[in-house]
Structure 1
Amino acid sequence: MSESAYRVETAPRLAQWRIDALSSTTYRKSDPFRIGLWNWFLAVEKNKQLFVKLYPEVSSLTREQPPIASFIIKLISTSSPNRRTLVHPGISDKLLKNNDDFVWPIDILFSGRFIIDVEFLDLKIVAQPGGEPCSIWTGYDIEKHSVATALTSLGRMLSEGIHTDIIINATDGTIGAHRAILATRSPVFRSMFSHNLKEKELSAVNISDMSFEACQAFLNYIYGNFQADEFLAHRLALLRAADKYDISDLKEACHESLLEDIDTKNVLERLQTAHLYRLPMLKSCCMRYLVNFGKIYEIRDEFNVFLQNCDRELIAEIFHEILAAWKG
């Protein structure tokens, strides 16, 4: 059997193991694959029933910080014309330490080729003994970017309105800010305040395409007063603002975060966003998710509507990706 028969293909939060066929009595374990902090294995055992297992690799990390996983797992028959799919009811916040912690017994035996598809919804760890589990995907890396670009004291200047000298007008509220800080972080703001433009004369900047909450998150990032929850809630608005005001580190932070949780509900929006804001990694990942991992079949109607409204250049790229997958 070829080495590729044991390889699991991965994308952010997604793993797929393609199995050509199983004999009447078989046990097969995949090669290790990386999702989150851990290496993982999938295993199948076929006897009177088919058993599917998912578990982390035994290591010091697994012993000290075992994953608490939430995921959806499916079996997809690729031999049948209609891609018959069997879906597990779903796993939420299950502690996984060894190969007996998640076992899916299946009475229906799949014949021919099939795919085991695992979509990780969340992975948590208990950071301290006795503490509450916390997700590994809540933006801690983004926080490091934010803190590195501004002193902690800047957060107090914003939150307490210390010596503000300019007003930011959002769609549904106003926030006091500081010209010097905005100008330091954004060449667009610097240009506004350096020339005789209306923003300099009126001591106000109108950001009419952002809500008050999104604008607050935008300024919090600039000032180093980072909040992970509000960052995740307003990523698309923050991406637009980062692109508009040329704040490259925020744009990259949004890009990296949007790569982490692509799913069938948001993949088309993410693909359009990647095209609009020139985000090649996000575009490539969305393409792979749709085409290589076969998710295009699950959102066929939404995809048809998407094609009717999206840019011609993007349509051409999508069909080029589909043709390349067929040839492969």
Structure 2
Amino acid sequence: MANSASVNYIKVAHHFKFNYSEMKDIKPGQFVSSPVFYALGSEWVIECIPQYSNQELPGIYTCFRVKLKEYKTVNPTISLNLLKRDGKTYTLPIRYQQRNGTDLFRHGFSVLSNSLLEKDFVNDGSFELICSISNTDIPHNSCSLQVPRSFDLHSQIGQLMESTETADVTFHVENRSFMCHRIVLAARSPVFKAELFGNMAEATQKQIKIQDMAPEVFEAMLHFIYTDSFPSCDSKKSSTKMAQHLFVAADRYAIDGLKALCENKLCGRISLDTVAIILALALQHNSLRLKNACLYLLTEPGTLINWMLSDEYEDLVRSFPSIKAEIRDRVNTGPCDKKKKRKANSLLTQ
């Protein structure tokens, strides 16, 4: 495996080449490792498991696991891209795991079916993987100047949320009220800018009522607007639900950063239990990345057949009939046995 790196201590990208021909004979669960590489002042490694399977994912997959060499309290953003035969890149959806339920980062991982890996990415017996890691919470290096908290822009603007002295507009959401600052909202959202400083009625109003949004979702959206961070949640399940609601809110107010952050989180939470609702969100709010991540999970005919027998599938097709054609294209162009392909096509024509 060859390794070349570009390090700037803000965003780190590493390029690896894996010999897939040699990996195919490795026993299930075993892995091969990349060389140790450095990102943001820490040692990292990528473990590649070429014979990976679990109950959620019928079939055989290759799993990519990005790990710190030692446990640290970090909140990394990881990007994994596979290089296709035509020179283009494909972004793998990332899931994040924690250690023993604490805030200690354990690893980020992604899976891809072996049939798709061999079809689109293996070239002359090998495939290439590009890993990027960014996290401004990790110190740049041991000699870097630590910026005092008082000079932290996000922290200072975030403190405005706690203050009512300079607030100049109040939003009423169901039974709760939120005092805000027009200029902050306008700087973060073109929709708020048009409402609060344009020719709309809200531009002259100090009391504005928000419809069709839960108070906790509006509060979480304000948290991102003021702090540029995702709000903390009590559990993985509540975090997934909040990401779904915030994805809709971000699209409504054209907050691209929040929408992308929600896409990242939802890409890591796609399973047979959640794929219907996440795919519906992707279709309703024009998220090509989220749609493709869902369709890649469903490309395996065995997985697709199980899903198409569920009530969630029927509800989705009633709301978005055109998705059938896209799923059919994925099935017919993907590598699989003819029996499963015929069964999937039979269900798609019902």
TM-score (norm 1): 0.59
Q: 1:123 aligns with which of 97, 105, 119?
A: 97
Q: 2:303 aligns with which of 281, 284, 295?
A: 295
Contact kept? 1:150, 1:223, Cα under 8 Å: no
TM-score (norm 2): 0.55
- Report the structure number with the largest CA radius of gyration: 1
Matched ranges for 1:1-328 at <5 A: 3=20, 6-7=23-24, 32=32, 38-41=46-49, 61-62=68-69, 64-65=70-71, 123-125=97-99, 132=102, 134-135=104-105, 151-224=154-227, 226=229, 227-229=231-233, 232-292=240-300, 294-299=302-307, 300-325=309-334
Three-state SS of the structure 1 residue aligned to 2:282 is helix
Distance, in Å, in 2 between the alignment partners of 1:143 and 1:214 is: 26
Distance, in Å, in 2 between the alignment partners of 1:162 and 1:4 is: 66
Contact kept? 1:166, 1:176, Cα under 8 Å: yes
Distance, in Å, in 1 between the alignment partners of 2:191 and 2:282 is: 22
Distance, in Å, in 2 between the alignment partners of 1:5 and 1:306 is: 44
* Change in CA separation of 1:55 and 1:325 when aligned onto 2, cut-off 3 Å: closer
Three-state SS of the structure 1 residue aligned to 2:300 is coil
The residue identity in structure 2 corresponding to 1:302 is D
Three-state SS of the structure 2 residue aligned to 1:228 is coil
- How many Å apart are 1:125 and its aligned residue? 4.0
Q: Which runs of 5+ in 2 are unaligned?
A: 1-18, 35-43, 53-61, 73-93, 109-132, 138-148, 338-350
Distance, in Å, in 2 between the alignment partners of 1:6 and 1:327 is: 21
Percentage identity across paired residues of the two chains: 20
Distance, in Å, in 1 between the alignment partners of 2:275 and 2:67 is: 35
Contact kept? 1:33, 1:40, Cα under 8 Å: yes
Three-state SS of the structure 2 residue aligned to 1:167 is strand
Three-state SS of the structure 1 residue aligned to 2:310 is helix
Q: Which runs of 5+ in 1 are unaligned?
A: 8-18, 20-25, 45-53, 67-119
* Change in CA separation of 1:291 and 1:60 when aligned onto 2, cut-off 3 Å: closer
* Change in CA separation of 1:307 and 1:151 when aligned onto 2, cut-off 3 Å: closer
Three-state SS of the structure 1 residue aligned to 2:97 is strand
* Change in CA separation of 1:33 and 1:289 when aligned onto 2, cut-off 3 Å: farther
The residue identity in structure 1 corresponding to 2:303 is K
The residue identity in structure 2 corresponding to 1:264 is L
- How many Å apart are 1:28 and its aligned residue? 6.9
